[in-house]
Chains A and B, each alone.
Chain A
Amino acid sequence: MAFCEAQIHQSIGSNAGSGLTNSRGKQALAKRTFMRHGGAARAGALRFMLLSKNDSCLRIFRLVNIFQIARGLRFLSIGLLHAKNSHPITPRPSNSLRSEAPKTRSILMKANHSSSPPRSMPATKHSLIHLQNSGSTHIACRFKPGCEGCTGGLCHRQCRSGDAGFTCVLPAVEEYGAKILTECEVTKIESDPDRATGIRCVHEGKEMLISGKVIVLAAGAYMPR
């Protein structure tokens, strides 16, 4: 949507700024843009329509714009500034929900994510803003390309920072070397009176005895099947 607005803004706003064109097709396009779009595109279209009639309209429009700024209607005023400067990129309309965006972004950047994060879901952000001064955000997601921010369930994108496999085990295996036996069920810990000597396990239908200097249990707390 932002890209679409930028394109329309370029075609309408910049031409309006230079005051070069006044064709019927452009006027129709400007009218359509004014009716359908917001932000810079709408302001650019309005300015184009006004400029095409009379320069004095622009003065009136500026007065109206000052009035709007005084009322806090930044939505249109930002668009006007960009139309005047023929700026190719349109910022998203500002409203109360997006006022917290820079803060959220800075938190994400501090977390050293690999790519820029997506915008918050409006309902989530609305909740966050309403609960002001109430703790920090915890975003355990790296937002890799294609990430939908699912924050739950199984995902192949390795986005979740809380996934022990992707975050801890696999990097350690790559760096230090190890062998992982999947689908291996440990049935018993073999031990002397004061030392564990190894584990008995069943792997691919074969019972095995694996010995080691140190035995680490990390299979999760006991839960009955």
Chain B
Amino acid sequence: MVHTSDYIAVRPDKQLPDERRGKSIALNDFYVYNGVKLGSFQSVPPRINWRYTLHYLRTRHGRDPRWWLTLLKPFYRPMAIVGGFYYRHAKVFATVVEDLPYLHNRIILDENSINGMRFEYDYADELLERNKMFRKEIVKALKPKLKAVVLTSENNLNYGHVCGTCRFSDDPKDGVLDRNNRAHDTENLYVVDASFFPSSSGINPSLTIAANAIRVAESIDAQLGSYADSTE
């Protein structure tokens, strides 16, 4: 599993002093919205300037199949300068949308691939719908004081948050790890990174991984204690 993340530039309705320092803020209001799992909305470091805008134009319009957009290509740079100036006070936020487990999204053993493995991933239709809904609701919530522009295209897979390749489950048919992140078939093998996630969750995974590692460490400690007792 991965996350899907849209980068959204939020521009305040009035000019604010520019400062280098910034804090991260995150909102979980949309984690479950009207019964639908969406995810979190958090600020990210990039500041908008003309280079960022130029990159946006090249990546987004460059993939657009409409032929007449290619006529605009020579004007990308001046457009980026104007756009960068207009959004110079904007803050960039990112959505983190929860990806759910599907059997067809998985690691496959393949002797022809590097490491003997490859993975297959299909973008689920329902995930696409949830992304559209999240974008729409965020833009609606920010209006009218804040103008929001979605900077990413529909292919918004976040490969920085890969997870769920060794899911945990009490049932060995559903996962390779037990509830203490120990392999079902191997009594002294633990997996405590993002692989154990049963779903990708709608938040940045770092702290969840760390919290779970602390929990699993107690289990490992208990197991090592039992080994020590047995050797005495």
Contact = CB atoms under 8 A, between A and B. Distances in A.
Nearest to A108: B23
Contacts of A221: 162-166, 193-195, 197
Interface bracket on B: 35 or more
Q: Main secondary structure on chain A at its contact with chain B?
A: loop
Interface string A112-136: 0000011111111011101100111
Interface in B180-224: 185-195, 197, 204, 206-207, 209-210, 213-214, 220, 223-224
Given A130-B142, A139-B23, A214-B220, 20 more contacts: A118-B21, A122-B12, A122-B17, A127-B12, A130-B146, A136-B28, A139-B25, A148-B21, A151-B24, A168-B213, A196-B186, A214-B188, A214-B190, A214-B224, A215-B188, A217-B189, A217-B192, A220-B194, A220-B195, A222-B107
27 contacts: A121-B22, A122-B19, A123-B10, A123-B90, A131-B29, A131-B141, A135-B27, A139-B25, A151-B45, A152-B45, A161-B207, A162-B206, A164-B213, A167-B210, A195-B187, A195-B188, A213-B224, A213-B227, A214-B189, A214-B190, A214-B223, A217-B190, A221-B163, A221-B195, A222-B165, A224-B118, A225-B115
Contacts of A118: 21, 23
A164 B165 CA distance: 20
A54 interface: no
Interface of B: 10, 12, 16-17, 19-29, 42-45, 89-91, 93, 107, 113-115, 117-119, 141-142, 145-146, 159, 162-166, 185-195, 197, 204, 206-207, 209-210, 213-214, 220, 223-224, 227
Interface residues of A, number: 52
A138 B45 CA distance: 14
